[in-house]
Structure 1
Amino acid sequence: MSVNDQAMELARTLQESKEYRQYLAAKEKLQEDEGNATLFQEFRRIQLELQIAEISGEDTEGTLEQLEHIYQKISLNPIVNEFLTAEYRLARLMTDVQKIIGEALEFWHEPDYSKKYLN
């Protein structure tokens, strides 16, 4: 079996995972209510603005306050909260898979990379 075939098999396995199924169900539930979907989109927009401001070295105080305000709303909203939890669990699964593959290939986590490979 080729590497690409095995990657496709892994993708199918991930699609069948509990984490992915829960993510899809939570996403569907979120999208069914326009108010919840809008609230979530606003949360993501402000998160992105904050990240851009931090990277650019801009003042983030106002954006951070906006994010905290909308997060208070989200934390009280069970549908949005359920989606964020499901999204986190799926992202964690994907990160674990990536870490396993990366470590098996010694792809990163080499503190003395330049000494080992450039000398």
Structure 2
Amino acid sequence: MSNVQQSAEQLAEAIRQSEEFSTLKEAYEAVMNDDIAKKMFDDFRNTQIELQQKQMQGLEITEEEVEKARKVVETVQQHEAISKLMEEEQKVNEFINSISRTITKPLEELYNQQ
């Protein structure tokens, strides 16, 4: 395994150990341990996956599907535990995007040479 790959594995472990990820994990477990929240979240995720699969296949998403998705999103956002989970997921995504910008800096520097 190369040094870069080893560093990536260490970074993955550091992310798992980070406060941001721990908070996300706690929020996820709170949703999974609440039967109503879990069902709502599962419905939300299934709706997301269905729409993403249609997009990837180049299929048109109908107005009915858009409306269904909108209603599902509105419903889950009203549930405190799910809303908290979505907020924490956004924080982790921002955290990982920041790391990604750091990792890809050598490419940016290479292509921006004058």
TM-score range, shorter chain: 0.7 to 0.9
Deviation at 1:63, TM superposition (A): 1.1
Number of equivalent positions: 109
Name the structure 2 match of 1:35: 36
Task: State the shift of 1:79 in Å.
Answer: 0.2
The offset of 1:33, in angstroms, is 0.8
Aligned to 1:92, which of 69, 73, 94? 94
Q: Which amino acid aligns with 2:100?
A: Q
Q: What RMSD, in angstroms, separates the aligned Cα atoms of the two structures?
A: 2.4
TM-score normalized with structure 1 length? 0.78
Counterpart in 2 of 1:52?
Answer: 53
Cα-to-partner distance string for 1:50-72 (whole Å, 9 max, x where unaligned) = 22333423233111111111111
- Kept in 1, the 8 Å contact 2:51–2:61? The answer is no
Structure 2: gaps (5+ residues): none
- Per the alignment, residue 77 of structure 1 pairs with 79
What are the ranges of 5 or more consecutive residues in structure 1 without an aligned counterpart? 112-119
- Counterparts of 1:50 and 1:4, CA distance in 2: 34
The structure showing larger relative contact order (alpha-carbon pairs under 8 Å, at least 6 residues apart) is: 2
How far apart are residue 99 of structure 1 and its match?
Answer: 2.2
Q: 1-side partners of 2:3 and 2:55: how far apart?
A: 42
Bigger Rg, which one: 1
**Distance across 1 between alignment mates of 2:5 and 2:53:** 35
* Aligned residue number for residue 6 of structure 1: 7
State the one-letter code of the partner of 2:72: I
Cα distance change of structure 1 residues 52 and 9 upon mapping to structure 2, 3 Å threshold: closer
Amino acid at match of 1:83: L
